[in-house]
Amino acid sequence: MSFENLNLIEPILRALKQEGYEKPTPIQQQAIPVLLERRDLLGCAQTGTGKTAAFAIPILQLIHQDELYKKGPHGIKALILTPTRELAAQIGESFTAYGKYLRISHTVIFGGVGQKPQTDALRAGVDVLIATPGRLLDLMDQRYVKLDHIRFFVLDEADRMLDMGFIHDVKKVIARLPKVRQTLFFSATMPSEIASLANSILTNPVRVEVAPVSSTANTVRQEMYFVEKSNKRSLLLHLLRNEAIESALVFTRTKHGADRVAKDLVRAGVNAEAIHGNKSQNARIKALSNFKSRHTRVLVATDIAARGIDIDDLSHVINYELPNVPETYVHRIGRTGRAGASGIAISFCDSEEREYLRDIQKLITKSVPVVDSHPYHSAGVPTDPSRPRVHQQSSSPNGGRRPKKQWSGHWRGKRH
């Protein structure tokens, strides 16, 4: 199937062609026709499935058609509510790309930066508003934002809104929306509170489900490196000596850990930056921009900071620390291998993280292949003989040595 089969207007097709879009992803194939029929949508999809285009393209087309045939009142016509500043900025970039040949204006508002440029844009008038909940409510209270004429409402990453404590702000915004509207609801997972919210704001929705949270993309090659905690820094530097790793997104569990890893890499001569919630908004935007432009080779991130980061051609994701929530592993490695491209997800596992690994493999219903041909392979971490092993692989330099002593059947690490 091509985008031409989705009944899209010529200006949007031309923009998609210029962006290099050839075939719609599964969620785009399913969602775009439904949304063009003005139906409500419940989308169960994680980042990396192409869901931004799945809602941005039909919203642009419907606003364009409405303005052609039935001029409505001036004001914001579409509201996209999203949990993070980075994701809001990227959705704004998508509207710019897909709507470049349409006379539809949009702006992005989020906290952490001065509000004047945002309020100036709102005063000038916008058709599409992309916002994070806190700043949106703030500007609504200051009467810079009125939602009286909203026709399209998108709640993106609803489960992350819940995780980040934004769900009450979201409900406040929803209470001030017009009752008659088209609502699009996206969530990677569906905990009970999110399911209840969806039921309360959707009217006879079409459900679209793509890539359940327990599944990992077939385009991502997963590798597991058993290593003692004290050797993780050395192993990371060892891997980065391989020039095939042009750019890597490295995950840590904590903000402090992200800063420490980034500083260690910089000291070793690797161009690296950290991104997390304690960084200023300008610092986060700059770090992300540097990484996208390949000025920075390694971006070290926490999970919340990285959620929604969409980076073209990201070849490697490295789990410096395994997440303690198994679904987070799926979200992390989904940063690579996007839109049909191939990618490599490397994970470090020390003896204290074995329970996390067990939970991850239970969730994804398969074992992650073990790479033991590296200088820091830990004899204190078990290598299940039934688990796939990778003795020679392309993501680390050749010449790794095996340890003389293999696992004796006992853990060195402390038990939880």
HEC string of the chain?
CCHHHHCCCHHHHHHHHHCCCCCCCHHHHHHHHHHHCCCCEEEECCCCCCHHHHHHHHHHHHHHHHHHHCCCCCCCCEEEECCCHHHHHHHHHHHHHHCCCCCCCEEEECCCCCCHHHHHHHHHCCCEEEECHHHHHHHHHCCCCCCCCCCEEEECCHHHHHHCCCHHHHHHHHHCCCCCCEEEEEECCCCHHHHHHHHHHCCCCEEEECCCCCCCCCCEEEEEEECCHHHHHHHHHHHHCCCCCCCEEEECCCHHHHHHHHHHHHHCCCCEEEECCCCCHHHHHHHHHHHHCCCCCEEEECHHHHCCCCCCCCCEEEECCCCCCHHHHHHHHCCCCHHHCCEEEEEEECHHHHHHHHHHHHHHCCCCCEECCCCCCCCCCCCCCCCCEECCCCCCCCCCCCCCCCCCCCCCCCCC
Of 44, 306, 84, 41, residue with least CA distance to 191: 44
- Domain positions in the chain: 3-209, 220-390
- Give domain 220-390's CATH number out of 3.30.230.10, 3.40.50.300, 3.20.20.70, 2.40.50.150: 3.40.50.300
Tell me how long the chain is.
416
Domain 3-209: homologous superfamily in CATH: P-loop containing nucleotide triphosphate hydrolases (3.40.50.300)
CA-to-CA separations, 386 to 370, 376, 381, in angstroms, rounded: 11, 22, 15
Cα angle value 265/266/268 (rounded, 5°):
65
Nearest Cα neighbor of 414 from 344, 326, 351 is: 351
Q: What is the structure's pLDDT at 300?
A: 95
The letter for the amino acid at 106 is H
Per-residue pLDDT, 410: 32
Please choose, from the candidates 147, 139, 153, 136, the residue with its C-alpha nearest in 3D space to the C-alpha of residue 83.
Answer: 136
Distance of alpha carbon 124 from alpha carbon 41, whole angstroms: 31
What's the pLDDT score for residue 180? 95
Q: For the whole prediction, is pTM greater than 0.85?
A: no
Task: Indicate the DSSP class of residue 339.
Answer: G
| Cβ proximity of 330 and 214 under 8 Å | yes
Q: Are 61 and 127 in contact (CB under 8 A)?
A: no
List the one residue out of 137, 148, 61, 144 whose CA is nearest residue 98. 61
- Return the pLDDT at 338: 64
Structure-derived torsion over alpha carbons of residues 202, 205, 208, 212, reported in degrees to the nearest 10: 40
Beta strand 298-301 pairing with 272-275: parallel
Residues of the chain with pLDDT under 50: 383-416
Which pLDDT belongs to residue 304? 65
Q: Which two tokens stand for residue 171?
A: 């409900």
